[in-house]
Amino acid sequence: MIQGKNILQKLIFLVLAMALLTGCRTSGKEQETKVEKTQYQASFLNLFDTVTTILGYAETEEKFEEITDEIYTNLEKYHQMFDIYNEYGTNNIKTINDQAGIAPVVVDGEIIQLLLDCKEYYNVTNGRVNVAMGSVLQLWHETREAGINDPENATIPEESALIEAAKHCNIEDLIIDEKASTVYIRDPEMSLDVGAVAKGWATQRVCENAPEGLLVSVGGNVKATGPKPEDISWVVGIQSPWDANADYVHTLYVNYESVVTSGDYQRYYTVDGEKYHHLIDPETLHPGKHWNAVTVVCEDSGLADALSTALFLLPKEEGEKIAKQNGAVACWIASEEEIFYSEGFKEIIKR
């Protein structure tokens, strides 16, 4: 049992980037046997700098705790692997960054697979999701943290510094040797930042090895591992980008799908009355301005995470094409009166 986690399992969080609700639609599968189960919820706060919530059914609370303990342990492993700020006694993304331009780093096979997938995400999003942008994102991170701590003196990065940092974001300088299980950054000024995909990728991995019938949210990256008992669909709410306490923009039926939202209402600060969020466009080197929020639904949570970022940074026509090519549906929110949908999205809306 993880120390301190029993207390957190009793917490109910009402405000998530994606709200977790109960559903009332059958999934269409036939139920073979009936087993009396109770719904339980577990939440914890210390992974990926966000709230993780797990909903599911089990015969006993002890059985549910066994399930959530395993999910927690696996998420903790990914949290440590993908951290760019801290060391944990084993090679991780920070180790790779520290050795940029110096030497290849031997890493776990799952880091290799994450980075191979990140190269694929780069290709399918036309470069809008680039984990090699660490040098640019670090400038925004530093000014955002300083601005949050000292709002009266908040600033944005110098344009000249952004332009210089952007010279060191070539994903081709990320050299992956699968046979040797090594990763090497060829440019000593380049660094990796996997924040745009890490939560979704980790959510997908843990859900692939979890029992059916769970709903897992890692910072709003939501994945269902199957319907609830009696083949009842889960329902996931899309939070209002303007008011976390307002009614959901929509609620969606899901059974095995992932639902991921990227929005300008998360991780932002204000400079001279203007809001600057964390979703940085590789083309402009500044926060994207097309949308307030974009929600993507597809089966793979890692892909959904990457696509939600890319579609947030792109005009609707280009984003819709990318979503369709990757088997995803999407919803774009520009204002309370301007909400757009890709083909197929309305079919999963509950209300």
Domain with 130, as residue range(s), is: 93-185
Helices 61-81 and 109-124 pack at an angle, to 10 degrees, of 70
pLDDT digits (tens, 9 = 90+) for 5-49: 333 333 333 333 334 444 445 555 444 556 688 999 999 988 998
Helix (H, G, I), strand (E, B) or coil at 150: coil
pTM, whole model, 2 decimals?
0.88
CA distance linking residue 344 with residue 165, whole number of Å: 40
pLDDT digits (tens, 9 = 90+) for 68-113: 999 999 999 999 999 999 999 999 999 999 999 999 999 999 999 9
Q: Report the CATH number that the domain containing residue 155 is assigned in CATH.
A: 1.10.3980.10
Both tokens of residue 146? 């300083």
Q: Which residues touch 152 (CB under 8 Å, ≥6 apart)?
A: none
Sheet of strand 18-21: strand arrangement: 18-21, 234-238, 250-254
- 222 part of a folded domain: no
Q: Which residues touch 300 (CB under 8 Å, ≥6 apart)?
A: 204, 258
- 107 part of a folded domain: yes
- 88 part of a folded domain: no
- 133 part of a folded domain: yes
What per-residue string of b and e applies to 307-341 under the rule 16 or more CB within 10 Å gives b? bbbbbbbbebeebbebbeebebbbbbbeeeeeeeb
- 42 part of a folded domain: no
Element (H, E) at 342: none
- 111 part of a folded domain: yes
- 196 part of a folded domain: no
Q: How many domains does the chain have?
A: 1
Evaluate whether 18 touches 259 at the Cβ level (below 8 Å): yes
Evaluate whether 94 touches 85 at the Cβ level (below 8 Å): yes
- 263 part of a folded domain: no
pLDDT tens-place values along the chain, 351 residues long: 333 433 333 333 333 333 444 444 555 544 455 668 899 999 998 899 899 999 999 999 999 999 999 999 999 999 999 999 999 999 999 999 999 999 999 999 999 999 999 999 999 999 999 999 999 999 999 999 999 999 999 999 999 999 999 999 999 999 999 999 999 999 999 999 999 999 999 999 999 999 999 999 998 899 999 999 989 999 999 988 887 777 889 999 999 999 999 999 878 899 999 999 999 999 999 999 999 999 999 999 999 999 999 999 999 999 999 999 999 999 999 987 799 999 999 999 986
Both tokens of residue 302? 């890692």
